[in-house]
Structure 1
Amino acid sequence: MTKTIRFNAFEMNCVGHQSPGLWRHPRDRSWQYKDLEYWTDLAKLLETGFFDSIFIADVIGYYDVYKGNLDNALLQGVQIPVNDPLQLANPIALATNHLGIGITASTSFEHPYTFARRLSTADHHTKGRIGWNIVTSYLESGAKNVGQGGLRSHDNRYDVASEYLEVLYKLFEGSWEEGAVVRDKERGIFADPTKIHEVGHKGKYFDVPGYHLCEPSPQRTPVLFQAGASNAGKDVAAGHAECVFISTPLKDATRAYVADIRQRAAAQGRDPKKLLVHAMATIIVDETDAKARAKYEEYVKYASYDGALVLMSGWTGIDFGHYKPADTVQHVKTNAITSAVERLSDGRKIWTIEELAQWGGIGGMGPLFVGSPSTIADILQEWVEDTDIDGFNLVYALAHETFADVIGYVVPELQKRGVYATGYREGTLREKLFGGGPYLPATHPADRFRDIEKVKREAAANADERAA
């Protein structure tokens, strides 16, 4: 018997997300991404299917690697225009009672002090249903437009991320003690100053001396998502993430990744079974295999060759516009998503540029599953059993048709087999996912920052030793 299968909906505040060109389909709604009704309708739909969360991706910058310019990204609407993801948290929370809301924000472009306030505010407003997807960013255009001149090196971006997380843990976990907020109307005391602390952070990349601006939110630190697949990314994920996302088209690569990330988590003193790993995938389903295949063929007519290669070029840092359709993908060292380059050139499959465009035209880098409810359920169970993943980060081909089909066809079949939820746990997102309390466990590295005065004493002692 396979483990319970979990679903997240993978979205982005833009047109088409990972199926460029399908915004032209007459039934697609992704062009309505600017309207709150688009998001509230989707959120309500996902909650009927007991999805754990809606996971909203983001990029700061734009995809201008393909053919050396932005033209094809603009022509095809490939993740530009793109709106801010965090502003979607409140309307989604108001429209639902349980659905988690995962927000992507970059450690390269958001200062930790102001970001901590934004994230705590969202966790308050959603009553503890916020998750944060930790990313370091990979687009040169983003770095240039925030005045950085260009991206830091790949591994250095993860060094920055590690310190960034330390700052956030100090603010979220250590600045305000339990019981700091008194709200005593009789004595006229709202908060006890003796229980609210400056964090005193002075690091290599950030100086944050003062107090967190927010009282503790329901989860203190929101649920931590991470999708790093390079060595540096996997180290951060294994040390900090509670939910890890992977995007690879091949099952054996997924299996290897899951084994590696769980081993790394165990080596850092964490319970590897408490790390939820989700594989990105796209599901096209209908009553029968033949109807599902016909639906897929209908979708393919709208997929964009150039749009797919815009994405692939941006993710890898390789300009696929320089190659002919029959050319094969070769390994090139870049400063973008290094794991994406490795996946496409690791020898498990030899990709031509045309195959890459066809694959990426619907659903991006993940696998594409097409079939009847029973066929899809068999595939999902097989992937879970063979790779040790915990669930799937589902990408839409058509908004919101793809998710409606999954909920209408696949969820009932999985429930019938006893491998899918039939309800939600109460509480915060962390409680719903893991069944414990609302805060990060004592085994998480954030725990050491809860006694912030001790942390500051240790830092001062270390500084004295270095000076001596």
Structure 2
Amino acid sequence: VDRVEQQMQAAGRRRASARLITSVTVIAAATDEAAYDRFRDYSQYVDQDAALALFAGWTGLDLSKYQPDDVLQDVHIEGNRSALQSFTSMDPDRAWTIADLASYMSIGARGPVIIGSGKTVVDELERWIQEAGVDGFNVDYALRGPDMTAFAKFVTPELRARGHLTPAPPVGSDHQTLRGRIFGTDWLPQDSTGGAYRRGQ
């Protein structure tokens, strides 16, 4: 977030003209215990080879020739080194192995996984906003139907109760677009690259 803010400033953009979001996988339930039960159930079915194949597809880094216990810091491979560094930098004191990476990728891919009741999930989302400075989240899932349904049932009411969700605008209101709801205007800001091309507003 800090790096993006610096880049925006260098480009003459205001921080308020952008929203920074991050991907999170949410496994929610009525209680923390029930949510962890679902997570443990999901974990029985993960395929770590498939997770490494997914990682290779995203990054161009084929880790299949390495052993599960090989440490990421010791892996010498051409290509997208920053993808490996994104793991090793999460916890500098931890020696991440290929097996650790595969396990982490199996549920949630490269993003964090938040597990718990609606209250626990929203507490963690708020912590990310306060400590990391993100503006919002792209909510992902392990299983689309169950996880999206659980999010709507357990997390959405808590988000709304804390003032994080606003009702949809009535038909005919000034701002019908997502941009309008977030920024208060349907137009790109003038200091953005796209806004600079606007004529005749």
* 2:190 is the alignment partner of 1:442: yes
Query: Which of 1 and 2 has greater Rg?
Result: 1
* 2:47 is the alignment partner of 1:304: yes
| Whole-angstrom CA distance in 1 between matches of 2:2 and 2:122 | 23
| Whole-angstrom CA distance in 1 between matches of 2:16 and 2:34 | 38
Superposition deviation, residue 355 in structure 1: 1.2
* 2:178 is the alignment partner of 1:429: yes
| Whole-angstrom CA distance in 2 between matches of 1:306 and 1:360 | 10
CA contact (8 A) 1:332 1:341 kept: no
Q: Report the counterpart of residue 110 of structure 2 in structure 1.
A: 365
1:34-433 maps to which residues of 2 (within 5 A)? 258-330=1-73, 332=76, 334-336=78-80, 338-346=81-89, 348=92, 349-424=94-169, 426-433=175-182
Q: Secondary structure at the match of 2:20?
A: strand
**Where does the alignment leave 5 or more consecutive residues of structure 2 unmatched?**
none
CA contact (8 A) 2:61 2:79 kept: no
How big is each residue's C-alpha offset from its partner over 1:314-363, in whole Å with a ceiling of 9 and x where there is no partner?
Answer: 33332211122111113646444x53233124463431111111111111
CA gap of 1:450–1:423, structure 2 versus 1, over 3 A, is closer
Percent of aligned pairs with the same amino acid: 33
Superposition deviation, residue 307 in structure 1: 0.7
| Whole-angstrom CA distance in 1 between matches of 2:40 and 2:129 | 27
CA contact (8 A) 1:315 1:340 kept: no
| Whole-angstrom CA distance in 1 between matches of 2:101 and 2:150 | 26
| Whole-angstrom CA distance in 2 between matches of 1:433 and 1:269 | 21
What amino acid maps onto 1:427 in structure 2? Q
Superposition deviation, residue 442 in structure 1: 1.4
RMSD: 2.0
CA gap of 1:420–1:339, structure 2 versus 1, over 3 A, is farther
How big is each residue's C-alpha offset from its partner over 1:147-168, in whole Å with a ceiling of 9 and x where there is no partner?
Answer: xxxxxxxxxxxxxxxxxxxxxx
CA contact (8 A) 2:20 2:136 kept: yes
Q: Report the counterpart of residue 455 of structure 1 in structure 2.
A: none
- When normalised by structure 2's length, the TM-score is 0.86
Q: Which has the higher contact order (CA 8 A, sep 6+)?
A: 2
Superposition deviation, residue 259 in structure 1: 1.2
**Where does the alignment leave 5 or more consecutive residues of structure 1 unmatched?**
1-257, 452-468
What amino acid maps onto 1:431 in structure 2? G
Q: Secondary structure at the match of 1:321?
A: coil
Superposition deviation, residue 450 in structure 1: 4.4
Matched residues, number? 192
| Whole-angstrom CA distance in 2 between matches of 1:344 and 1:408 | 32
Q: Report the counterpart of residue 139 of structure 1 in structure 2.
A: none
Superposition deviation, residue 401 in structure 1: 1.6
What amino acid maps onto 1:311 in structure 2? L
| Whole-angstrom CA distance in 2 between matches of 1:351 and 1:344 | 7
Hey, which bits of structure 1, 4+ residues long, moved more than 4 A?
Answer: none
| Whole-angstrom CA distance in 2 between matches of 1:288 and 1:270 | 43
